[in-house]
């Protein structure tokens, strides 16, 4: 092999190593290795039950999306929340007086297994916390005489938290793929250039 071919091969190896190193660096700093445990932590997070109408002091230790889940009417004690849930107004009030109101997010098929009561629960509202701390969780019925007392719970909004984790880690995955693809592509070009140079030296063109 001549010097030019050797240089192409060495350059190809260097580019490939740099690409692999960059991919590994992105993997490390993005915390992709912790994705399964972070996802599991969301599902392990405690749910806070509340009888409506009522209020309760709660400690929320993380930022992100929370869900308010309708479980059942205390009159029927029915554990099947497929029925239309009652109209509720639920709020979180911080110690500083900031009032956050739940946003309607009801979907009949969006059900989860509740740790409280051991039955299914239906997501009815979503609420986002930017500042962890102590809050007053309160829910009231739109019409006090329309329905009997009901049981709701406050916990992670599993759908949005899953999407947030996927999007956050998706950028890192895309960076890893681009790093590897680019380095392999450039390495192949350099290897190809080295092979072409070697053939040109072995079979000179006419007139040389």
CA triple 59-167-132, angle to 5 deg: 15
Same domain, 103 and 121: yes
pLDDT (tens digit, 9 = 90+) per residue, 131-186?
889 999 999 887 665 566 778 888 888 777 777 777 777 788 888 888 888 888 88
Phi, psi at 78, each rounded to 5°: -75, 130
Contact by Cβ (8 Å): 80, 122? no
Same domain, 28 and 103: no
The total number of structural domains in the chain stands at: 2
Contact by Cβ (8 Å): 27, 172? yes
In a domain, 181, yes or no: yes
56 versus 158: the higher-pLDDT residue is 56
* Full-model pTM: 0.61
How many CA atoms are closer than 13 Å to the CA of 17, on its beta-carbon side?
A: 6
Contact by Cβ (8 Å): 10, 189? no
Predicted confidence band at 72 (pLDDT cuts at 50, 70, 90)? low
Residue 145 is predicted with a pLDDT of 56
Rg (the chain; Cα; Å): 29
In a domain, 207, yes or no: no
208: its two tokens: 């040389």
Contact by Cβ (8 Å): 172, 26? yes
What's the rounded Cα separation, in Å, for the pair 59 and 13?
54
Residue 198 is predicted with a pLDDT of 65
117: its two tokens: 């009561």
Nearest to residue 122, comparing CAs of 169, 68, 42, 76? 68
pLDDT (tens digit, 9 = 90+) per residue, 13-38?
888 888 888 888 878 877 777 677 66
In a domain, 41, yes or no: no
Same domain, 170 and 192: yes
Find tokens 């709660």 and name the residue. 58
Same domain, 108 and 66: yes
In a domain, 131, yes or no: yes
Same domain, 20 and 86: no
What's the rounded Cα separation, in Å, for the pair 191 and 12?
6
CATH number at residue 62: 2.60.120
Q: Which residues form the domain of 151?
A: 46-157
In a domain, 51, yes or no: yes
Q: Which helix (H) or strand (E) holds 58?
A: strand 54-60
Same domain, 15 and 85: no
């Amino acid at each position: 092999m001549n010097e030019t071919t050797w240089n192409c091969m060495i350059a190809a190896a260097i580019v490939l190593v740099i690409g692999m190193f960059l991919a590994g660096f992105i993997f490390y700093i993005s915390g992709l290795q912790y994705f399964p445990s972070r996802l599991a932590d969301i599902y392990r997070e405690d749910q806070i039950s509340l009888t409506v109408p009522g209020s309760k002091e709660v400690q929320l230790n993380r930022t992100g999306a929370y869900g308010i889940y309708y479980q059942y009417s205390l009159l029927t004690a029915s554990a099947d929340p497929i029925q239309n849930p009652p109209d509720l107004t639920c709020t979180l009030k911080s110690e500083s007086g900031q009032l956050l109101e739940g946003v309607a997010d009801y979907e009949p098929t969006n059900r989860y297994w509740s740790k409280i009561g051991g039955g299914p629960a239906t997501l009815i509202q979503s609420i986002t916390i930017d500042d962890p701390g102590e809050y007053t969780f309160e829910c009231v019925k739109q019409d006090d005489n329309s329905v009997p007392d009901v049981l709701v719970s406050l916990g992670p909004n599993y759908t949005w938290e899953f999407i947030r984790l996927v999007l956050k880690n998706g950028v890192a995955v895309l960076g890893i793929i681009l790093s590897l693809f680019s380095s392999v592509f450039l390495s192949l070009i350099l290897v190809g250039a080295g092979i072409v140079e070697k053939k040109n030296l072995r079979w000179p063109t006419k007139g040389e």
